[in-house]
Amino acid sequence: MPSPNQPKAIIKMDARLVRLKEFLVNAVSTEMQNQSIVHPQNREAVRRSLIDAYQRTKADLETKVRDQVVDSALADLIGYGPLEALLPDPEISEIMVNGPKQIFVERNGELLETDVKFENEEHLLRIIDRIVSPLGRRVDADNPTADARLPDGSRVNVIIPPVAVDGPHITIRKFLQTKITMDDLVSMGELTIYMAKFLEACVVTRLNILVTGNTSSGKTTVLNALSGFIPDKERIVTIEDAVELKLKQRHVVRLETKLPNVDGSGAVSVRDLVRNALRMRPDRIVVGEVRGGEAMDMLQAMNTGHTGSLTTLHANIPRDAISRLETMAMMAGLDMPLLAIRKQIAASVNLIVHLARFSDGSRKMTHITELSGMEGEVVTLTDIFKFDQSGVTPEGKIIGQLRPTGMRPLFTPRLEASGFKLGGEIFGAGL
Ligand SMILES: Nc1ncnc2c1ncn2[C@@H]1O[C@H](COP(=O)(O)OP(=O)(O)OP(=O)(O)O)[C@@H](O)[C@H]1O
Ligand SMILES: [Mg+2]
């Protein structure tokens, strides 16, 4: 299996070098370690301390090897240990640590095993502690899971034994500074410029849009790209579990949920924030992901003047999104009959943009689907654009395109009334 280039901080250290590194790490005072975390500019001071400690050992290593041992000690002390070699790599979008000896990365959509390793479980737990402790969290056998964030905004999940059977695991979704825009998606061939124009018209015309797909299919990315179409003069409130969206507009209020304090009190949920946002005179509410009772508040908001709301939810296919939304709305505990909830969904949500991650690692928009009302007790879904797979290259790459189905959305007159003249050819008229 191919592996990423070995960065300088990672060398295969034999047991003797590992012992030396541990010695150096222990020689740096706890006080200095703590200060370094708070003030990264003290990095040089820690490095000097490590070199002093090295000189006291009277070891006689080649300068290159010495520097590698010192760098590795430095990464353990004030960084994220062996992960330091992977975190700065802009091509890596995800890092998955499965116990101390197995680290996978996702690089350009492909899952690859790396040569990067922790020394042992204890070393890995130390780094986990470094990740979660600034957030006032601890993971131990009684609290074996935690969500955290790195200072750069990357999202981290940690899970350790006994619930993770084979050792401590870390999953990092890197926060990429450069977000994929709708223009990028067009140049990547995911959709045509006309389809992007259509989506722009839907956002500007304040349709309520759900972005759906499986985990890691690109929902947040597309939500971010769609939000880019919100006109600059509007007041946008974003609500997320961990801030991922990066909007270019000036008038944006960013809200983030809060975990409970150690005594279990003080949590602020997405639902709390949605309710609060409604009192903040929002023109738009953008919710990173609905996964609970807030679905009901969102539906009510969409129905009562806060049109143009955007959010994501997990679903395998667009139709799944409806039943998931129903289940989530029921979690709000309002005792509303299922059919009433379903009617509310049909009346509120206008469009589903569905994404999928394919076997070749690529992410694609597979459906742009209109919710066009109810037929009996069933919500009517009409695919306006659908991914058409025409084949697979010998290397396993999926070939295909998002294509019009020939159906024209029922809300077309609304788009036209807002000044978007979408010619019939967009929807494949005459095909
Ligand atoms: N169309 C795309 N082409 C290539 N890479 C993409 C595309 N869309 C998203 N990505 C990349 O895929 C990764 C996952 O994307 P994203 O966070 O948007 O997924 P998600 O569906 O929101 O995931 P989750 O379910 O974990 O919230 C990111 O690194 C992102 O940059
Ligand atoms: Mg997401």
By alpha-carbon position, which residue is closest to atom 4 of ligand 1?
Answer: 363
Query: Is the distance from the beta carbon of residue 93 to the nearest atom of ligand 1 less than 6 Å?
Result: yes
Q: Identify the pLDDT of residue 31.
A: 67
332 and 420 in a single domain? The answer is yes
For 23, the token pair is 């010695």
Q: Which ligand approaches the C-alpha of residue 364 most closely?
A: 1
150 and 222 in a single domain? The answer is no
User: CA–CA distance from 161 to each of 19, 80, 116, 141, 370 (Å)?
Assistant: 26, 20, 21, 7, 45
Last residue of a domain, which of 79, 103, 135?
A: 79
Q: Which atom of ligand 1 is nearest to the CA of 222?
A: 18
Nearest to 289 by CA among 311, 258, 257, 259: 311
Query: Is the distance from the beta carbon of residue 221 to the nearest atom of ligand 1 less than 6 Å?
Result: yes
Q: Identify the pLDDT of residue 413.
A: 93
CA 219 to chain centre: 8
Taking 3-state DSSP, the helix, strand and coil percentages for the chain, each rounded to the nearest 5, stand at 35, 25, 40
Q: Which atom of ligand 1 is nearest to the CA of 213?
A: 21
201 and 230 in a single domain? The answer is yes
**212 Cβ contact partners less than 8 Å away, ≥ 6 residues apart:** 219, 312, 313, 314, 315, 318, 320, 321, 352, 353, 354, 355
261 and 292 in a single domain? The answer is yes
Query: Is the distance from the beta carbon of residue 213 to the nearest atom of ligand 1 less than 6 Å?
Result: yes
- Residue 328 CA, ligand 1 centroid: distance in Å: 23
By alpha-carbon position, which residue is closest to atom 11 of ligand 1?
Answer: 218
Q: Which atom of ligand 1 is nearest to the CA of 180?
A: 31
20 and 153 in a single domain? The answer is no
- Residue 289 CA, ligand 2 centroid: distance in Å: 7
70 and 87 in a single domain? The answer is no
Query: Is the distance from the beta carbon of residue 216 to the nearest atom of ligand 1 less than 6 Å?
Result: yes
How far is Cα 347 from Cα 361, in angstroms, rounded to an integer? 35
User: CA–CA distance from 13 to each of 10, 17, 73, 95, 113 (Å)?
Assistant: 8, 5, 12, 22, 19
By alpha-carbon position, which residue is closest to atom 29 of ligand 1?
Answer: 93
Q: Please choose from 157, 362, 363 the residue to mutate so as to test ligand 1's pocket, defined by most ligand atoms within 8 A of CB.
A: 363
188 and 277 in a single domain? The answer is yes
By alpha-carbon position, which residue is closest to atom 12 of ligand 1?
Answer: 218
Q: Which ligand approaches the C-alpha of residue 355 most closely?
A: 1
Query: Is the distance from the beta carbon of residue 215 to the nearest atom of ligand 1 less than 6 Å?
Result: yes
By alpha-carbon position, which residue is closest to atom 10 of ligand 1?
Answer: 218
pLDDT in tens, the chain (431 residues): 334 444 444 456 788 888 898 888 888 876 666 665 556 667 788 888 899 889 988 888 898 899 989 988 888 887 898 998 899 898 899 999 999 999 999 998 889 999 999 989 998 998 998 888 877 778 999 989 998 888 888 999 999 999 999 999 999 999 887 889 999 999 988 899 999 999 999 999 999 999 999 999 999 999 999 999 999 999 999 999 888 999 999 999 999 998 887 777 889 999 999 999 999 999 999 999 999 999 999 998 888 878 899 999 999 999 999 999 999 999 988 889 999 999 999 999 999 999 999 988 889 999 999 999 999 999 999 999 999 999 999 988 999 999 999 999 999 999 999 999 887 778 885 44
CB 362 within 8 A of CB 109: yes
The CATH number of the domain holding residue 202 is 3.40.50.300
- Residue 405 CA, ligand 2 centroid: distance in Å: 28
74 and 84 in a single domain? The answer is no
| Cα atoms found within 13 Å of the Cα of residue 155, Cβ hemisphere only | 12
Last residue of a domain, which of 20, 45, 79?
A: 79
- Kindly report whether the peptide bond that precedes residue 82 is cis, defined as omega within 30 degrees of 0: no
How many angstroms separate the most distant Cα atoms in the chain? 84
Domain membership of residue 233 as a residue range: 182-427
Query: Is the distance from the beta carbon of residue 363 to the nearest atom of ligand 1 less than 6 Å?
Result: yes
- Residue 172 CA, ligand 1 centroid: distance in Å: 13
Q: Identify the pLDDT of residue 2.
A: 38
Q: Please choose from 186, 199, 221 the residue to mutate so as to test ligand 1's pocket, defined by most ligand atoms within 8 A of CB.
A: 221
Q: Identify the pLDDT of residue 39.
A: 60
Domain count, the chain: 3
- Residue 149 CA, ligand 1 centroid: distance in Å: 17
How far is Cα 397 from Cα 392, in angstroms, rounded to an integer? 5
By alpha-carbon position, which residue is closest to atom 5 of ligand 1?
Answer: 363
67 and 149 in a single domain? The answer is no
- Residue 148 CA, ligand 2 centroid: distance in Å: 15
Q: Which ligand approaches the C-alpha of residue 184 most closely?
A: 1
The CATH number of the domain holding residue 132 is 3.30.450.370
Q: Identify the pLDDT of residue 429.
A: 54
Q: Which residues surround ligand 2, an ion (CB under 5 A)?
A: 219-220
By alpha-carbon position, which residue is closest to atom 9 of ligand 1?
Answer: 218
Query: Is the distance from the beta carbon of residue 176 to the nearest atom of ligand 1 less than 6 Å?
Result: yes
Q: Identify the pLDDT of residue 314.
A: 97
75 and 86 in a single domain? The answer is no
Q: Which ligand approaches the C-alpha of residue 175 most closely?
A: 1
Last residue of a domain, which of 79, 112, 146?
A: 79
Q: Which ligand approaches the C-alpha of residue 240 most closely?
A: 2
243 and 114 in a single domain? The answer is no
261 and 396 in a single domain? The answer is yes
